[in-house]
C-alpha cells in the first residue's frame, strides 16, 4: 500500500514528540517522534520486547509518558495535548474518534451480551436512542464484516476466533472514528482466517479513510496494510520509511535480519 496517495491534509492528525517511557533504569520507549496523517496507515514492527506495544499504549493514552508528549487534532480543528485531557474527554475520544482493536477480542468485546448489543452499545454511547435504527445499523455492520445477521442475537462467546475479531472491528468502526489503534489484530488466527481478516481490514481502511497505527511482528501484515513502517529495537526507532522501501531495501542490519526472518517474532 506504500504507493497510495494518502497525504491530502497538510496538518497531521496525531503527532508524537520525543515520546519516552521508563521503568526505573529500563527504558521501554526512547525519544520517539513522528506525525500521522488522515488516511495513513503506520505499522510499528520489531521483535518481542522492542517497545512497540509500549509505544502503542503511550499513543492511545493508556500509559502516561515519562517524557515527551502526544498531540491530536480534534474534529473542531483544535490540536490538543493528550496529557491535558480529563478522564471524561479521553473516554469520549475512545467512544467517538478513536478505536482500539486488541489481539485478544475478549479484551475489546463484552462476551456475555449479544453481537448486536456489542455494536449497538457504542452507538448509544454517542447519543443514539432509537432501538430500530441501532439494530439496523448493527445488522448492516455485521454484514460488512462478513458475519451472518442471523447471529446478531448470539453472544460472542459462541463465535469462532475469526468471527470475534471481525465483530470487534465492527464495534470499533460503527461510530466512524478517524484513528484506530491495532495491536497484533491477526495474532492467534490460522493463516486462512488471517488472510480474510487482512483483506477486510484493507478494504475498510481505504473506504473509511482511516488513520491507523498497527503493531505487528508479522511483516506480511505490515506490507499489506501500511503506507509507512517504523522498525523498533530496544525501545528506539532504528529505521522508518515507506513500507516497500523499508521491506525491500532495508538499511539497518537489524531490519535486514527481520526481513530475512532470522529473528523470532
Q: Model confidence over 160-183: pLDDT tens digits?
A: 999 999 999 999 999 999 999 999
**How many whole angstroms separate alpha carbon 9 and alpha carbon 92?**
24
CA distances, 9 to each of 12, 14, 143, 204, 227 (Å): 7, 12, 31, 20, 15
Q: C-alpha angle with apex 192: 186 to 194, nearest 5 degrees?
A: 10
- Rounded CA-CA distance 171/182 in Å is 13
- What is the dihedral angle through the alpha carbons of 122, 123, 124, 129, rounded to the nearest 10 degrees? -160
| SS3 state of residue 40 | coil
Tell me the Cα Rg of the chain: 18
Work out the burial of residue 92: count CB atoms within 10 Å of its CB; fewer than 13 is exposed, 13-18 middle, 19 or more buried.
Answer: middle
Give the rounded percent of residues in the chain with a pLDDT score beyond 90: 81
Element (H, E) at 28: strand 26-36
- State pTM to two decimals: 0.92
Q: What is the pLDDT of residues 2-33, one digit of tens each?
A: 444 444 458 999 999 999 999 998 899 999 99
pLDDT digits (tens, 9 = 90+) for 212-250: 999 998 999 999 999 999 999 999 999 999 999 999 999
Q: Any idea what DSSP says for residue 84?
A: G
Check the CA dihedral 23-13-89-100 and report its sign.
negative
At 191, is the pLDDT very low, low, confident or very high (cuts 50, 70, 90)? Answer: confident
Amino acid at each position: 500500500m506504500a504507493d497510495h496517495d494518502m497525504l491530502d491534509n497538510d496538518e497531521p492528525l496525531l503527532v508524537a514528540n520525543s515520546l519516552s517511557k521508563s521503568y526505573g533504569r529500563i527504558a521501554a520507549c526512547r525519544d520517539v517522534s513522528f506525525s500521522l496523517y488522515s488516511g495513513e496507515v503506520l505499522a510499528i514492527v520489531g521483535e518481542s520486547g522492542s517497545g512497540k506495544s509500549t509505544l502503542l499504549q503511550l499513543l492511545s493514552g493508556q500509559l502516561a509518558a515519562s517524557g515527551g508528549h502526544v498531540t491530536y487534532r480534534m474534529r473542531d480543528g483544535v490540536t490538543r495535548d493528550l496529557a491535558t485531557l480529563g478522564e471524561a474527554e479521553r473516554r469520549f475520544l475512545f467512544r467517538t474518534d478513536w478505536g482500539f482493536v486488541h489481539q485478544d477480542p475478549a479484551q475489546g468485546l463484552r462476551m456475555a451480551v449479544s453481537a448486536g448489543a456489542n455494536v449497538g452499545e457504542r452507538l448509544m454511547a454517542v447519543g443514539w436512542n432509537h432501538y430500530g435504527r441501532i439494530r439496523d445499523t448493527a445488522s448492516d455492520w455485521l454484514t460488512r464484516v462478513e458475519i451472518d445477521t442471523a447471529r446478531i442475537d448470539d453472544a460472542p462467546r459462541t463465535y469462532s476466533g475469526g468471527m470475534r475479531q471481525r465483530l470487534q472491528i465492527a464495534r470499533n468502526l460503527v461510530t466512524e472514528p478517524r484513528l484506530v489503534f491495532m495491536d497484533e489484530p491477526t495474532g492467534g488466527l490460522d493463516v486462512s482466517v488471517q488472510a480474510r481478516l487482512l483483506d477486510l481490514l484493507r478494504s475498510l481502511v481505504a473506504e473509511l479513510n482511516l488513520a491507523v497505527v498497527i503493531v505487528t511482528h508479522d511483516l506480511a501484515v505490515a506490507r499489506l496494510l501500511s503506507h509507512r513502517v517504523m522498525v523498533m529495537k530496544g525501545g528506539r526507532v532504528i529505521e522508518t520509511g515507506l513500507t516497500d522501501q523499508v521491506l525491500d531495501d532495508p538499511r539497518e542490519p537489524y531490519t535486514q535480519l527481520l526481513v530475512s526472518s532470522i529473528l523470532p517474532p
